[in-house]
Chain A
Amino acid sequence: MDEITMTVNGRQRPLQGATAHTTALDWLRDTGLSGSKEGCAEGECGACAMLVATPDDNGGTSWTAVNACLVPAAALNGQEIVTAEGLGSPDELHPVQEKLAEAGGSQCGYCTPGFACSMAGEYYRADRAPAAAGDEVCEEHGPNGFDLHALSGNLCRCTGYRPIRDAAYTLGSPEADDELAARRSRPAPAPMPTDFSSGGGRFIRPASLSEALDLLHDEPTALLLAGSTDLGVEVNLRGRRAPLVVAIEQLPELRTLEIGEEFIEIGAALPLSEVERRLDGQVPLLAQLFPQFASRLIRNRGTFGGNLGTGSPIGDTPPALLALGARLVLASAGGEREVDLADYFTGYRQTIRGADELIRAIRIPLPLARVTAFHKIAKRRFDDISSVALGFALDIEGGVVTAARIGLGGVAATPLRAYATEAALVGRPWNVATVRAASAVLQSEGTPMSDHRASSEYRSLMLGSSLLKLYSSTVIESKEVSA
């Protein structure tokens, strides 16, 4: 077995002393790079954020901020990463560090290295552009084009965030001699096939999809790993030590995005941030979903395949994809099959996916419904788990609902289609009477439970309320159009 090495802050370092389960954060700290902090060990606080060199669309590199606490160190074999220590030093601060320090953006300083990395990721985003004079500055964007959502996965308990925002919004653009900026014009490191065993665990990165499928065929208990935003939490908080992990997130067949005549096909292991950027609003329902899905740090690693693969009833992509009528392409060594997402979930964290199958792609049928919305009810607006989530996709022609698909999350052991509500809408006029009646039906869909996030009564009421809110917004929009 070849030695595993990573390039950290421009220096090659061997993966010494780590096991197959060791997170990148623990490994970094063990090598003496203690700038990255553990605040939560579940990808919620961002104190461990680091930058990873990932491929962009043009053969170059993006600096992508991710949570080091969730990624297995072995998954970074051959990759390049940058931590706060690599951005700058106390005597020679990086521009984001200089702005943060000057603005009073650090108080206790514990979250700060992570903020610096998240900010640097956005600083180096190739398509970040200052708003032109006269442009309307969109919400949560600075005049310099800085998207505040880049920091949605970083928590600070001291400042109240205002100085951090001010620091972010006054950042300029990288100077000509900025090495990290220059690095973007060269290709990102290629995926490195890996087979690493240590500490009672084995981590494999197969070289190809067929190799991955053969492996799954031979080792049906293998755990598939994409962004590791779910498994990382299991490893850290619940001590899960899977004997065999197979990483598939760098397989090219799982990273496609094609807009065809009949459907849009999205590779199951394409990070959600990438999907968001490449779709660029072409699927309005997903454009509404993405900013509400966890945080940018998570979306930079998290994938559709992972969110569907875990089968969680409170994942946020299923309600949206159910509303879009999405179909999944399941691949195994024996071939591929396509299934309707509505038939995919069979029970609590159970699906029809066979042990030898992986989700290769998601297909969203075209044309898209004309009235769509994604509603997420949660305690906190950024980066929270849904109490309930709803995806709506309706066609309304001549004032009559001609088609309806509604996806629900958080109301049962699996994500659900709200078939009864759909039936109560289709063929009826899109008016208050229809919506009130359908809202009452929607309110009784599923069997939500009470827990620390919300009561069952509130969850049910929010289902009904959500349809009323959707109706209200379509009425307001039509008024705005006519006016």
Chain B
Amino acid sequence: MSALADRPANPVVGLRAVHESAALHVTGAAMYTDDLAAHTAGVLTAWPVQSTNAHARVTVDVAPAYDVPGVVRVLTADDVPGINDAGIKHDEPLFPSEAMFYGHALVWVLGETQEAARLGAEAVKVDYEALPSYITVSEAIAAESYQGIARTVERGDAAAALAGAPRVFEGVTEFGGQEHFYLETHASLAILDSEGQYFVQCSTQHPSETQEIVAHVLGISSSQVTVQSLRMGGAFGGKEMQPHGFAAIAALGAKLTGRPVRLRLNRTQDITMTGKRHPFQISWKAGFTEDGLIQALDATLTADGGWSIDLSEPVLGRALCHIDNAYWIPNVHAYGRIAKTNKTSQTAFRGFGGPQGVFLIEDILGRVAPVLGIDPAEIRRKNMYRPGQSTPYGQLVKDADRLEAIWQRLVDESDFDERRAEIAAFNAASVDTKRALAITPVKFGISFNFAAFNQAGALVHVYKDGSVLINHGGTEMGQGLHTKMLQVAATALGLRLDQVRLAPTRTDKVPNTSATAASSGADLNGGAVKNACEQIRERMAKVAGRLLGVDERDVRFEGGLITGLGKFDESLTFAEVANAAYLQRVQLWAAGYYRTEGLHWNPDLMKGSPFKYFAYGCAATEVEVDGFTGAYRVRRVDIVHDVGDSLSPMLDIGQIEGAYVQGVGWLTLEELRWDETDGPNRGRLLTQSASTYKLPSFSEMPEEFNVRLFENAREDGAVYGSKAVGEPPFMLAFSAREAIREAVGEFAPAGHSVELGSPATPEAVYWAIEAARSAGSASVAATSPAADASAEHDPTGASAGSAPAGADVPALATTEA
């Protein structure tokens, strides 16, 4: 076995490869779950009956559905032979007797057609006995409605440091969730085969857990259920925990009818039924030196978990582990808790709490920099981690010097200083339009905090003709994992990329897999694929050594040929050696395994080294803001990001660009609005379709978008020296939010702290501009003592909400110590 990070000569990893399914994607030939269903004869369609009450005991009368032509069966709690639960924490009844949110699926109707199932669901009668509901985080806090375990990350003495800090700021930072809006909604297709095996094709990031939930709902063993995840049309964390119940419904339908059952949520069902990114409300107090060094941070983070716990605890854990982002904060006290509200059960979403933690510190730095009279870029740079420092939870920040190196390279390559000067000149001449260029860093910990998930398996077959078929436990959601695994296998076996094929991810090939999540897909499964390939290669090296007359240690595999050191005129094809191995009865397939070494984490103390390494990056974003409307354009983005030594550069750049734009969507555009009134639709999601929930389109693509990979970036702890890439670049989008903040600040006199609502929609930006302008007119009016007094002493008005009244409220209280 070679060292994990070492690359052989002429590796296939590191080459620019197109997505392994690209030709299928562009021609429509790529199959997704419901496409397979469309090609399945005799398939029934499942349709939910959804609650129209945010919280109520329900009585369901399904009899009228059977009067609808084409309705075959209505699935209810009485039909469940096993456990009536869709999750692993046993707080998510699959068929609930109590509706926990508006949109909660109560029962499911199976129809010969979608139309029949839909009309059947409409015919079902539901009686609601209303119960009290909490829709906003504030309501939940007021009612002390919490769930799960509260956690604290602590280092030093934050209270004492705050008491002694020359400058202390406090405020409340609040931001909303985010809908995944994978283009392919949740989908499952279940078939009971002739041997009594359930085959479930499911759009899932976690086939093994889907398998377990299907088994426990049906009351059968895992070995009786095979889950396949052929490919997903996007997932982003939304298909890590949430698909299980839908797969179970389809499988239960197949059991009861003996026919294949398809379940595909339409967009409105998906958006009203499934979990999203957690919204947070954070109250905080931060101490600084006069020259802008952070001394202490004390924060209380309340995550809005929705109606069930789902992944809220680990999401909160990751948020608490990322409130430092890339900055050294000597004294920290961060307390986190999870509100229980009557909304969808919030879940994993790219970054998994990391973005929420980073939001806090970037918001604080952006708000205090003008008050301290320090350039926001400067305050960020001077607070960045230096080598030898460790995180608040006690992990050494490995390769911390990369932060400064990446920052400097970005400043150089983006012409940062020159462009800032141009922008200053532009702003001086422009009254109604302002520009700004902001730079932010990211540091993101890689590995599952839950240590057991940091393992993976693979199954690699070499056939007698020398062809190779690989299988691994990771799922493909568009991130290019399968392509990278093909590159890893080709590298490990010394083959060309086209000599390796990959078979779909199935639980009967590789068991007990982890979710493809936490950006770890390539690290974990790559380790396992490499391990399997190297087992086979070592066996084949013995065979080849005998054929070539060299010691097995001197056999080389490269470009599909096998040679011996010093044997210049002799080479064997991979197929010749494979065939010889077969005839000599040498095993040509192997199961590979990988576990990430050296991790430890104590969740009770919130201490340890949970991450194998950190991924780093920096982004510089230039925006232009229109003072008439608050509308803005992203003019140019420059990014330098650390993916280690890239396994596949085009795919990595694609991940970085996509994550950045998705992050900008969360921070500036995408807005989930719920009916918070006491009216009949309380708890209903108001933005429940593509026409009301707007995600970035072509108009949000940066006009100029330069992404570069940090070079000579080998990471010793990961396969072929690479680093994870899925999530970290999401947080590069904070540079866009900070640029908008700085541009808004241009409408105010120097020293004005800009409080920006989130998401920073044109309306939210407009209110921030209005506040900036009135700060200007107030300073011209000069000396109203009353106004000064309120700015000094009212810390309560620091909500970052977008209400117009916020324009009049002092955003940031500051007290001189």
Q: Is B654 an interface position by the 8 A CB rule?
A: yes
From B654, B660, B803, A163 is in contact (CB under 8 Å) with B654
CA distance A88 to B432 in the complex (A): 50
Contact with B along A454-471 (1 / 0, CB 8 A): 110110011001101100
Stretch in contact with the other chain, from B76-84, B134-142, B685-693? B685-693
Q: Judge whether B233 and A37 touch: CB under 8 Å.
A: yes
- Contact partner of A106 (CB less than 8 A), chosen from B22, B39, B629, is B22
In Å, the complex CA distance between A11 and B662 comes to 40
Chain B 28-48 interface 0/1 with A at a Cβ cutoff of 8 Å (1 = within): 111110110011000000000
- Asked whether any CB of chain A lies closer than 8 Å to the CB of B267, the reply is yes
State the CA gap A465–B231 with chains docked (Å): 48
Q: How far is the CB of A472 from chain B (nearest CB, A)?
A: 6
Bound: A468/B803 CA distance, A: 23
Does the CB pair B654–A104 fall under 8 Å? yes
Chain B min CB distance to A390 (Å): 11
Question: With A160-B657, A162-B701, A461-B766 as given contacts, are A452 and B692 in contact (CB-CB < 8 Å)?
Answer: yes
Annotate A351-382 by CB proximity to B: 1 below 8 A, 0 otherwise: 00000000000000000000000000111111
Question: Is B762 a contact of A42 with CB atoms below 8 Å?
Answer: no
In the complex the two chains form, what is the Cα distance from A338 to B115 in whole Å?
42
Query: Chain A 77-97, CB within 8 Å of chain B: the 1/0 string?
Result: 000000111011111011011
B24–A159 CB distance below 8 A: no
Contact with A along B647-663 (1 / 0, CB 8 A): 00011011001111110
> Do A106 and B31 contact each other (CB < 8 Å), given the known contacts A157-B181, A160-B701?
no
Give which listed residue, B118, B232, B694, contacts A239 with CB less than 8 A: B118
Cβ-defined contact, B29 with A108, below 8 A: no
The one of A34, A83, A110 that contacts B234, using a Cβ cutoff of 8 Å: A110
* Contact among A36, A38, A453 for B28, CB-based, below 8 A: A36
Checking B626, B694, B705 against A384 with a beta-carbon cut-off of 8 angstroms, the contacting residue is B694
- B673 partner residues in chain A, CB cutoff 8 A: 452
A470, closest chain B residue (CB): B628
Count B-side interface residues using an 8 Å CB cutoff. Answer: 82
Which stretch in A147-155, A182-190, A441-449 binds the other chain?
A: A147-155
B435 to chain A, nearest CB (A): 17
CB distance from B650 to the nearest CB of A (A): 5
Nearest A residue to B37, CB-CB: A34
CA distance A378 to B766 in the complex (A): 12
Whether a CB of chain B sits under 8 angstroms from the CB of A451 is yes
B549 interface residue per 8 A CB criterion = no
Main secondary structure on B side of the interface with A: loop
Known contacts A32-B39, A108-B233, A380-B697; A88/B181 CB under 8 A: no
Chain A residues with Cβ below 8 Å from B38 are 29-30, 32, 34
Beyond A32-B38, A39-B690, A455-B763, is A383–B654 a contact (Cβ under 8 Å)? no
* Segment at the B interface, from A111-119, A211-219, A396-404, A419-427: A111-119
* Assembly CA distance A334 to B480 (angstroms): 64
Closest B residue to A148 using CB positions: B698
The reply to whether the CB of A14 lies closer than 8 angstroms to some CB of chain B is no
Please determine whether A84 and B690 come into contact, CB atoms closer than 8 angstroms. no
Q: Does B130 contact A (CB under 8 A)?
A: no
Minimum C-beta distance from A322 to chain B (A)? 21
Residues of B within 8 A of A159 (CB): 654, 657-658, 661
Bound Cα distance from A165 to B671, whole angstroms: 26
Interface of A is mostly: loop
Given contacts A39-B690, A97-B26, contact A462 B629 (CB under 8 A): yes
Interface residues of B in 208-224 (CB under 8 A from A): none
Is A102 on the interface with B (CB-CB < 8 A)? Answer: yes
Give the docked Cα–Cα distance between A165 and B697 (Å).
Answer: 12
Chain B CB within 8 A of A207 CB: no
Residues of A within 8 A of B690 (CB): 39-40, 42, 44-45, 155
How far is B23's CA from A116's CA once the two chains are assembled, in angstroms?
A: 12
Q: Which of A29, A107, A113 contacts B479 (CB 8 A)?
A: A107
In the complex, the answer to whether A113 meets B27 with C-beta atoms within 8 Å is yes
Complex-state Cα separation, A45 to B694, whole angstroms: 10
Tell whether A109 is near chain B: CB-to-CB under 8 Å: yes
| A109:B694 contact, CB within 8 angstroms | no
Residues 680-728 (chain B) with a chain A CB within 8 angstroms: 686-687, 689-692, 694-702, 705
Q: Nearest-CB distance from B622 to chain A (Å)?
A: 16
CB of B761 within 8 Å of the partner chain: yes
Question: Which of A47, A157, A239 has the most C-beta atoms of chain B within 10 angstroms of its own C-beta?
Answer: A157
Q: Please measure, in the bound complex, the distance between the C-alpha atom of A425 and the C-alpha atom of B528, giving whole angstroms.
A: 74
Question: Do the beta carbons of A106 and B26 come within 8 Å of each other?
Answer: yes
Q: Tell me which residues from 86 to 106 in chain B have a Cβ below 8 Å from any Cβ of chain A.
A: none
Q: Does B478 contact A (CB under 8 A)?
A: yes
The residues of B that contact A236 with a CB separation of less than 8 Å are 266
User: Which residue from chain B places its CB closest to the CB of A90 in the assembled complex?
Assistant: B23
- Are A152 and B29 closer than 8 Å at their CB atoms? no
Contact A379 B761 (CB under 8 A): yes
Cα distance, A379 to B235, chains bound together (Å): 25
Interface size bracket, A side? 35 or more
Complex: A137 Cα to B201 Cα, angstroms: 48
Q: Find chain B residues with CB under 8 A from A42 CB.
A: 267, 689-691
Contact of B27 among A35, A237, A451, A453 (CB under 8 A): A35
Chain A, residue nearest B29 (CB): A90
Which residues of chain B are near A152, meaning CB under 8 Å? 697-699
Contact present for A110 and B22 (CB under 8 Å): no
A437 at the interface (CB under 8 A from B): no
A35–B697 contact, CB under 8 A? no
Whether B432 pairs with A112 at a CB distance below 8 angstroms is no
Using known A-B contacts A451-B686, A452-B692, determine if residue A101 contacts B25 with beta carbons closer than 8 Å.
yes
CA of A365 to CA of B375, assembled, Å? 56
Do residues B184 and A468 form an inter-chain contact, with CB atoms below 8 A?
no
Contact, CB under 8 Å: B26 / A155: no
**Bitwise interface map of B from 111 to 138 toward A, beta carbon under 8 Å scored 1, else 0:** 0000100100010000000000000000
Which residues of A are found within 8 Å of B692, using beta-carbon distances? 385, 452-453
Please determine whether A160 and B24 come into contact, CB atoms closer than 8 angstroms.
no
Say yes or no: B24 contacts A90, CB within 8 Å: yes
Q: A101 to chain B: which residues have CB within 8 Å?
A: 18-19, 22-23, 25-26
A393 is an interface residue with CB less than 8 A from chain B? no
B416 contacts the other chain (Cβ, under 8 Å)? no
Enumerate chain B residues within 8 angstroms of A129, measured Cβ to Cβ: none
B700 contacts which chain A residues (CB < 8 A)? 161, 380-381
Chain A residues with Cβ under 8 A from B428's Cβ? Answer: none
Q: What's the nearest-Cβ distance from chain B to residue A63, in Å? A: 16
Cα–Cα, bound, A157→B184 (Å): 10
B705 with A85: CB separation less than 8 A: no
Q: Which residue of B is nearest A92, CB measured?
A: B27
Query: Which parts of B176-194 form the interface with A (CB within 8 Å)?
Result: 180-185
A19 nearest CB neighbor, chain B only: B115
Residues on A with C-beta less than 8 A from B184 are: 37, 39, 108, 110
B183 touches A111 (CB 8 A): yes
20 new A-B contacts, CB < 8 A, other than A45-B183, A108-B477, A239-B118, are A29-B35, A37-B32, A40-B267, A42-B267, A44-B689, A45-B690, A90-B29, A106-B26, A107-B19, A107-B658, A108-B182, A112-B30, A116-B27, A159-B657, A162-B705, A236-B266, A379-B669, A379-B671, A380-B697, A472-B628
List 12 A–B pairs whose Cβ atoms lie within 8 Å, in order of A's numbering: A34-B38, A35-B27, A97-B23, A101-B22, A106-B22, A106-B478, A110-B233, A112-B26, A161-B700, A455-B763, A457-B804, A458-B767
For the complex of A and B, the 9 pairs showing the least CB-CB separation, nearest first, are A35-B28, A108-B478, A110-B233, A109-B25, A44-B690, A160-B661, A84-B28, A107-B478, A381-B699
Interface residues, chain A, with chain B CB atoms under 8 Å away: 19, 29-30, 32-42, 44-45, 47, 83-85, 87-91, 93-94, 96-98, 100-102, 104-113, 116, 148, 151-152, 154-163, 165, 199, 233, 236-237, 239, 377-385, 387, 451-455, 457-458, 461-462, 465-466, 468-469, 472
Interface of B toward A, CB cutoff 8 Å? 18-19, 21-32, 34-35, 38-39, 115, 118, 122, 180-185, 231-236, 266-268, 432, 477-480, 626, 628-629, 631, 633, 650-651, 653-654, 657-662, 669, 671, 673, 686-687, 689-692, 694-702, 705, 761-763, 766-767, 803-804
